[in-house]
Amino acid sequence: MRLPSLLRRQSPTPTRRRRRSTGLRTALAAVLAAVPATLLLSVSGAAVEPAGLDDPAKKEIAMRLVSSAENSSLDWRAQFDYIEDIGDGRGYTAGIIGFCSGTHDMLELVEYYTAQEPDNPLAPYLPALRAVDGSDSHEGLDPGFTDAWVRAAQTPEFQAAQEHERDRVYFDPSVSRAKRDGLRELGQFAYYDAIVMHGASGFAAIRADARRHARTPADGGDETRYLHAFLDARVKEMKKEPAHEDTSRVDTAQRVFLNKGNLRLNTPLTWHVYGDRFHIERDPAPSVRD
């Protein structure tokens, strides 16, 4: 009997598609259960909820930051129709967050999409996706699956399905966990970026390591000190695999913001990933591309 895949993705190329490493997606709900946001006091003394990374403008920044590392581009919306086998043992990698045919999240995406739109180009490939889940096999997918993905990606329905699954599996749980830990937008982003690369169990290991060295703000600790500990643990986790040896998405991006005291992830933002320079001058409108 084929075991469920525990792998996440990592591109062997230096400038394209850095994928996450081993992680148990099935443990995500338990590890990162949705929780109420941390409450702050306003000037008037009333309890108010901070905007957080799920504010539309901040979320757009988060998507661009991740895309700079995953795709060497700020235009994450250009990735809906992306699909290729990058030779990492995870089968096809595709879409805005790198759904993989070998790691179950692509299967869940196509199942969700088909429940919404039964007559879609990918629906005929569901039996094959179930059969190859947990492997790098293309059996039953070639030669037509990649063309079907590109056709589907031209539709607003499949684009919406990709965003739905990205949020359900990765963004919403990680932001909720960060809010429970008392972290503001930069810390929320650090959690999200970690789970994108390392998966649920990898993220849990990084967080556990960080908490051995510093307390979260929710536990009475200093936010900056805890985030340095988290980024230290993240770098340590990345260096366990040769494909993760370049840690610039931490060292010359997140660590730069942290050293500047930019815990709210306020613009303008300038950072470097894999030697490339990126800049966001002002909070973007979520529906506008640069």
Confidence of residue 38 (pLDDT cuts 50, 70, 90): very low
Section 36-63 average pLDDT: 65
Section 152-175 average pLDDT: 97
> What local confidence, expressed as pLDDT, does residue 270 receive?
98
Confidence of residue 245 (pLDDT cuts 50, 70, 90): confident
Q: Which residue has the higher pLDDT, 24 or 276?
A: 276
Q: Which residue has the higher pLDDT, 46 or 137?
A: 137
Confidence of residue 103 (pLDDT cuts 50, 70, 90): confident
pLDDT of 157 over the 70 cut: yes
Specify the pTM.
0.81
Section 41-60 average pLDDT: 66
pLDDT of 13 over the 60 cut: no
> What local confidence, expressed as pLDDT, does residue 88 receive?
82
Percent of the chain with pLDDT over 90: 72
Residue 267 has which token pair?
Answer: 């613009």
Between the two ends of the chain, the Cα-to-Cα distance in Å is 48
27-41, 90-104, 177-191, 266-280, range with the lowest pLDDT: 27-41
Catalytic residue numbers read 70, 88
> What local confidence, expressed as pLDDT, does residue 50 receive?
53
Query: CA–CA distance from 15 to each of 68, 204, 232, 273, 274 (Å)?
Result: 10, 27, 23, 9, 7
> What local confidence, expressed as pLDDT, does residue 178 receive?
98
pLDDT of 22 over the 70 cut: no
Q: Which residue has the higher pLDDT, 135 or 7?
A: 135
User: pLDDT tens across 258-279, in order?
Assistant: 999 999 999 999 999 999 999 9
pLDDT of 228 over the 80 cut: yes
